[in-house]
């Protein structure tokens, strides 16, 4: 059974800084590291998919986005956490690209590239309805961090609470 989680970045893994444009601004959300560690220790593969329209809006370059991702990945590695991969949509919301969530192109790319299929242990975790719609369209279970949701009944306060729910998936199948 495929065990994996696709995570949103801003507001889920790291603080949402309204167009974060330098690696020094990276601050992990409370309990995010603990949640990632719990998932990894229970055999889950970890991926990031994030809309980053700041590139199209001119707030940061694609190269800067890559540097931020490398720094975040390194910071996680120093905590013993391995992200399998991160994927970003750099397009403006008005562009009709297939990679901007809730569209599913980046999610389908992950499933294909890593030989994964939706299963009782395939999840998306995010802080917006757009994140949840993305995951549900891929056939994944959705967990929202934050306030109530129209798309899922599973709403938690932080990534650790999400991880505690996720790791029980194979006991329910």
Query: Structural domain of residue 42, as residue ranges?
Result: 4-172
> What's the mean per-residue pLDDT of the chain?
96
CATH number for 123: 3.40.50.1000
- Determine which one of 2, 8, 127, 148 is catalytic: 8
| Alpha-carbon span 130 to 168, nearest angstrom | 25
Distance of CA 66 to the CA centre of its chain: 16
Q: Angle 32-41/159-166 helices, nearest 10 degrees?
A: 20
Is 8 an active-site residue? yes
Is 148 an active-site residue? no
The percent of residues in the chain predicted with pLDDT above 70, rounded, is 99
Mean pLDDT in residue range 32-40 = 99
Q: Does residue 101 register a pLDDT over 60?
A: yes
Structural domain count, the chain: 1
Give the pLDDT confidence of 17-34 residue by residue, as tens digits. 889 999 999 999 999 999
Give the pLDDT confidence of 66-90 residue by residue, as tens digits. 999 999 999 999 999 999 999 999 9
- Whole-model pTM? 0.96
- Determine which one of 10, 69, 127, 131 is catalytic: 10
* Bond into 122 cis (ω within 30): no
Q: Does residue 170 register a pLDDT over 80?
A: no
Question: How many CB atoms within 10 Å of residue 115?
Answer: 7
């Amino acid at each position: 059974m495929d065990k994996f989680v696709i995570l949103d970045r801003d507001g889920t893994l790291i603080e949402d800084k309204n167009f974060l444009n330098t690696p020094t601004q990276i601050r992990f959300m409370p309990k995010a590291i603990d949640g990632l560690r719990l998932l990894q220790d229970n055999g889950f593969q970890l991926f990031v998919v994030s809309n980053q329209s700041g590139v199209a809006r001119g707030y940061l370059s694609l190269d800067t986005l890559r540097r931020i991702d490398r720094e975040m990945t390194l910071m996680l590695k120093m905590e013993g956490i391995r992200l399998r991969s991160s994927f970003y949509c750099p397009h403006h919301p008005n562009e009709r690209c297939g990679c901007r969530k809730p569209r599913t192109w980046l999610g389908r790319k992950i499933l294909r590239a890593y030989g994964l299929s939706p299963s009782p242990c395939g999840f998306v975790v995010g802080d917006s309805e757009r994140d949840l719609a993305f995951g549900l369209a891929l056939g994944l279970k959705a967990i929202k961090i934050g306030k109530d949701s129209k798309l899922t009944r599973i709403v938690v306060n932080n990534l650790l609470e999400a991880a505690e729910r996720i790791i029980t998936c194979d006991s329910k199948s």
